[in-house]
Structure 1
Amino acid sequence: MDENVLGIVAGVLTSVSMIPQLIKVIKSKNAEDLSWVMIMVLISGLSLWVWYGFIQNELPIIVSNAFAVLVNITLLICCIMYKKKS
């Protein structure tokens, strides 16, 4: 298998992995079970992958991780909006 195809497939799968969670949170307007710390750590790691992708000039790494950053930032915003005030 071509290594670029492998990278693209891996990137697509990891990038879309949080979309079902995002859809569930948006539909239910409930983010009580989400850890904002975990989301922040994930966004940080994904952002570093984007940076690494730019350094290595690897488009599959850049695109897939940038998309994942956007999905997780959206999830973090929902987490902030939908967490019940205690």
Structure 2
Amino acid sequence: MIGEWVGYVAASLTTLSFLPQAIKTIRTRDTSGISLGMYVVFTVGVACWFLYGLALTSWPMIVSNLLTLGLSATILTLKLRHG
């Protein structure tokens, strides 16, 4: 039980840490400082973590990676359009 709560805390913190950069990028549409290669690899990695969470039925992994995947995919799309 304690392990699951640690998972929720860790998932919340890592997802929240990504939020300020995502908000800034979405608002400004400025992707000049973002590496396309890094965001492609990051987005694919987050998608894999999401699928792994589904396989384990780990709700902290599923929810946090789904949110992060949505944000990173949005930033990646902006980079491809405005990069």
Normalising by structure 2, we get a TM-score of: 0.86
* Deviates most, 51-60 or 20-29: 20-29
Q: Which amino acid aligns with 1:53?
A: G
Residues in 2 aligned to 1:81 and 1:5: alpha-carbon distance in whole angstroms:
39
RMSD (Å) for aligned C-alpha atoms: 1.6
Moved over 3 A (4+): none
Q: Alpha-carbon deviation of 1:7?
A: 0.2
Q: Alpha-carbon deviation of 1:79?
A: 1.4
Amino-acid identity (%): 31
Residues in 2 aligned to 1:7 and 1:13: alpha-carbon distance in whole angstroms:
10
> How many residues are aligned here?
83
Q: Secondary structure at the match of 1:45?
A: helix
Residues in 2 aligned to 1:67 and 1:38: alpha-carbon distance in whole angstroms:
18
Rg (Cα) greater in structure: 1
Aligned residue in 1 for 2:51: 51
Residues in 2 aligned to 1:69 and 1:26: alpha-carbon distance in whole angstroms:
14
1:4 aligns with 2:4: yes
The structure with the greater share of residues assigned to helix is: 2
Paired residues for 1:1-86 under 5 Å:
2-83=2-83
Unaligned runs of 5+ in 1: none
